[in-house]
A and B are shown apart, each in its own frame.
Chain A
Amino acid sequence: MSGDPKIAIRGLRKSFGSKHVLQGIDLDVGVGESLVVIGGSGTGKSVMLKCILGLLQPDAGSIRIDGSEVVGLSAGEREALMRKFGMLFQGSALFDSLAVWENVAFGLIQGRGLKRAAAREIALQKLAAVGLGADVAALRPAELSGGMQKRVALARAIAAEPEIIFFDEPTTGLDPIMADIINDLIIKCVKDLGATAISITHDMASTRKIADRVAMIHNGRIIWAGLKSEIDRSGNPYVDQFIHGRAEGPIRMEVRAR
């Protein structure tokens, strides 16, 4: 990491009622860096992304984007800030009242004021990049398979070529070949566009391919963060258990104790 971080999170906390999901997250993401966040199901990975985006209001802590605080921005400032972001939601979250290409072009038309025809061209290019042809473009999201929806959502997230892109489980539900194509696409976004990316994944093959750095979240905190090359000798039993997918280990114990 060189220079000031693109995203700097300090002491981020978020609870839902008595459920303390994030309990003091500290995390830096450098400019043009691809960070992969790993961690067990329900540990708050998606919640963390939503806090950074301002979709959830953090209970405490600071989030700085390009050095300026974004917690507690006004709605207008937030709307302007959103132009920097692209987000692939875990459940795709496609607009089911719009055609596939309109979904992909949405941020271009609404957010950047492009003409529909021009936006459509870009949308078709982005769809092609995720392996979807022009015949799919006119369909409704409900007419697509889950994996196809995910790819449309990915095309939508990158369509406006944002500075910061969040991928919440980009390869879940895809076949291994398509997953690898998506991995390449994510790498391309980061390398070619110089975007900063945070990806959440349970897929270790994908992690090893797309990550510059890896951070592991557990019990509401980042318990380990390091370069991808260090992940196999982290010396952290939680990380070891997670990357090898072992049922036995410190994480299982806590699940059992519930």
Chain B
Amino acid sequence: MTERNFLASVGRTFLDFLAVTGRIVVFALAAIFYALRPPYYPRLILRQMVDVGYYSLPVVGLTAVFTGMVLALQTYTGFSRFAAENAIANVVVLSVTRELGPVIAGLMVAGRIGAAIAAEIGTMRVTDQIDALTTLSTNPYRYLVAPRLIAGFTMVPLLVLVADIIGVFGGFLVSTYKLQFNAASYIQRTVDFLQTQDVAAGLAKAAVFGFIVALMGCYNGYHSRGGAQGVGAATTYAVVSSSILILVFDYVLTEAFFAR
């Protein structure tokens, strides 16, 4: 009997998972549907872009510079035994543009923006503000959700571009000041190994991550219930689920872009 109960609970969990996935997809499609139809809200979109893009610069920049620095240090530790210090520039530029830039920026944005979106929309839900929007002939998908999705989708790639530059610069700092490499040849190697397609793939990842963060923030906020506690739970779900999804999609996209 316990085996059957176990199987039943596995099955139920799986069905729940499918149901939630379906609801999120429907939610996203509805938001995209309304985002493409007038009226548009350029002011709201702009405000969200500034929030997501500009105000995330400090956190993303700081994490990127330290990631680049530690990457250079670790690579040196690993490669110096094989007298291959020159590979540092290669490793730094490749890792940062392909992988670390998008993932680090995505995770930071998940914490900063995903939580803020979920808390704001969640509060609007539990205080009837979303219902009030509807009674004032304003579609909440168009007014609240679409601007955030657009901002996430467009601004996180720009953030990642900045993170790429700062991350590579962090590696450069450690290599030249601490490890005493020649600056000119380090830069030369970086430029040699810098691939347009690596950067482009990183930016494509970033667009997906930005969309995921905004979507999970909006979805969890929109469906929150039960006062402050419900908003807190929605915020947690938003951050945790978008962080996990970022890592999952990072693998999937890497497989799609780079696996031969």
Cα distance, A78 to B137, chains bound together (Å): 8
CA distance A53 to B137 in the complex (A): 11
- Of the stretches A87-95, A176-184, A194-202, the one at the interface is A87-95
Q: How far, in angstroms, from A112 to B129 measured CA to CA in the complex? A: 19
Q: A106-B136, A111-B136 are in contact. Are A50 and B129 (CB under 8 A)?
A: no
A83 within 8 A of B: yes
Contacting pair A89 B136 (CB below 8 A): no
B128 lies within 8 A of A110 (CB): no
* Chain A, range 69-116, C-beta contacts under 8 Å to B: 75, 78-80, 82-83, 85-87, 89-91, 93-97, 106-107, 110-112
Contacts of B128 in A (CB 8 A): 89-91, 93
Beta-carbon contact of B138 and A111 below 8 Å: yes
B63 at the interface (CB under 8 A from A): no
Q: Mark A179-193, 1 if CB is under 8 A from B, else 0.
A: 000000000000000
Q: Please report the C-alpha to C-alpha distance between residue A146 and residue B254 in the assembled complex, in whole angstroms.
A: 53
Tell me whether A117 is interfacial, beta carbon within 8 Å.
no
A81 to chain B, nearest CB (A): 9
Q: Tell me how many residue pairs across A and B have CB atoms closer than 8 Å.
A: 56
Residues 43-80 of chain A, each 1 if its beta carbon lies under 8 Å from chain B, else 0: 00000001001110000000000000000000100111
Q: B135: which of A82, A95, A97 is its contact (CB, 8 Å)?
A: A82
Assess the A82–B134 pair: CB atoms within 8 A. yes
CA distance in complex: A140, B115 (Å): 23
Asked whether A94 lies within 8 Å of B138 as measured between CB atoms, the reply is: no
Looking at B123, B132, B134, the one whose CB has the most chain A CB atoms below 10 A away is B132
Alpha-carbon gap, A91 to B130, bound state (A): 13
Bound Cα distance from A86 to B143, whole angstroms: 19
Select from chain B the residue with minimum beta-carbon distance to A112. Answer: B137
Nearest Cβ on chain B to A24's Cβ, whole angstroms = 24
- How many angstroms from the CA of A151 to the CA of B120 in the assembled complex? 24
B192 located at the interface, meaning its Cβ lies under 8 Å from any Cβ of chain A in the complex: no
- Cβ of B127 under 8 Å from chain A: yes
Whose C-beta in chain B lies nearest to the C-beta of A78?
A: B134
Closest to B139 in A: A79
Q: How far is the CB of A58 from chain B (nearest CB, A)?
A: 15
B37 nearest in chain A by CB position: A76
A143-177: which residues lie under 8 A (CB-CB) from chain B? Answer: 156
B121-152 contact mask (Cβ, 8 Å, vs A): 1 or 0: 00110011101111111110001000000000
Task: Please report which residues of chain B, range 87-136, place their CB below 8 angstroms from some CB of chain A when the two chains form the complex.
Answer: 120, 123-124, 127-129, 131-136
Contacts of B133 in A (CB 8 A): 95
- Chain B residue with the shortest CB-CB distance to A86: B135
Tell me if B129 and A93 are in contact (CB < 8 A): yes
Contact A91 B137 (CB under 8 A): no
CB-CB nearest 9 A-B residue pairs: A111-B137, A93-B128, A107-B136, A93-B132, A87-B135, A82-B137, A110-B138, A55-B131, A89-B128
A-B contact pairs, 16 of them (CB 8 A): A82-B134, A82-B137, A85-B135, A87-B132, A89-B131, A91-B128, A94-B129, A95-B129, A95-B132, A95-B133, A96-B123, A96-B129, A107-B137, A110-B138, A112-B137, A156-B136
Given A53-B135, A82-B137, A107-B136: 11 more A-B contacts, CB < 8 Å: A55-B134, A55-B135, A82-B136, A85-B135, A86-B135, A89-B131, A93-B131, A95-B129, A95-B133, A96-B123, A112-B137
Q: Which positions in B face A, CB cutoff 8 Å? A: 39, 120, 123-124, 127-129, 131-139, 143
